[in-house]
Amino acid sequence: MTFTQAFPQPASTHGNYNLRLLLWLRGLAIIGLSLMVALAQSLFHVLVPLVPILSLVIFWAALNLLTWLRLKRQTQAGDTEFLAQLIIDLIMLTALLAFSGGPANPLTSLYLPPVAVAAAVLPMRHAWLMAALSVAAYSLLWKISVPLTVEDVDSAMQMHLTGMWLTFAASALLIAGFVTRMTVALRERDRQLAAVREQALRDERIVALGNLAAGAAHELGTPLATMAVIAGELADDPATPSALRGDLALLREQVAACKGIITGLADRAGSGRAEGGSEIGVDRWIERVVARWCSLRPQVAPCLTLEGVPPAPNIAGEATLEQALLVLFNNAADASPTDVKIHAQWSHDRLQLDILDRGPGVPADVLLRAGREFMDKRPEGAGIGLFLAHSTLNRYGGEIVFEPRPGGGTLTRINLPLKTLLTAGA
Asked which of 222, 246, 270 is the last residue of a domain, the reply is 270
- Do 46 and 126 lie in one domain? The reply is yes
Strand ranges (DSSP E) for 201-313? 279-281, 303-308
How far is the C-alpha of 316 from the C-alpha of 64, rounded, in Å? 50
Q: Does 255 fall in a domain? A: yes
Task: Return the CA Rg of the chain.
Answer: 35
- Do 193 and 46 lie in one domain? The reply is yes
- Do 261 and 359 lie in one domain? The reply is no
- Do 37 and 136 lie in one domain? The reply is yes
CB 43 within 8 A of CB 56: no
Beta bridge partners of 280: 315
3-state SS class at 272: coil
Whole-number pLDDT of residue 378? 47
Q: Does 425 fall in a domain? A: no
- Do 192 and 53 lie in one domain? The reply is yes
- Do 41 and 155 lie in one domain? The reply is yes
The structural domain count of the chain equals 3
Asked which of 226, 246, 270 is the last residue of a domain, the reply is 270
List, for residues 103-119, the tens digit of each pLDDT value.
Answer: 877 778 788 888 888 88
pTM of the model: 0.48
Q: Give the mean pLDDT per block of 10 residues along the chain (426 residues).
A: 40 64 80 74 66 86 87 80 89 86 78 83 89 92 78 61 72 72 76 78 68 68 82 83 81 79 62 54 91 82 88 82 87 88 90 91 66 51 69 84 86 89 60
- Do 292 and 406 lie in one domain? The reply is yes
Domain that holds residue 18: 3-198
Asked which of 153, 170, 198 is the last residue of a domain, the reply is 198
3-state SS class at 404: strand
Q: Does 287 fall in a domain? A: yes
Whole-number pLDDT of residue 344? 93
Please report which helix (H) or strand (E) contains residue 209, including its range.
helix 156-236
- Do 184 and 259 lie in one domain? The reply is no
Question: Concatenated DSSP letters for 321-365?
Answer: HHHHHHHHHHHHHHH-TT-EEEEEEE-SSEEEEEEEE-S----HH
Residue 304: how many CA atoms within 13 Å on its side-chain side? 16
- Do 234 and 296 lie in one domain? The reply is no
List, for residues 109-161, the tens digit of each pLDDT value.
Answer: 788 888 888 887 888 899 899 999 999 999 998 888 777 666 565 665 666 66
- Do 266 and 409 lie in one domain? The reply is no
How far is the C-alpha of 283 from the C-alpha of 321, rounded, in Å? 15
For residue 396, the 8-state DSSP code is: T
**Backbone phi and psi for residue 10, each to the nearest 5 degrees, phi listed first:** -70, 155
- Do 23 and 170 lie in one domain? The reply is yes
Q: Does 58 fall in a domain? A: yes
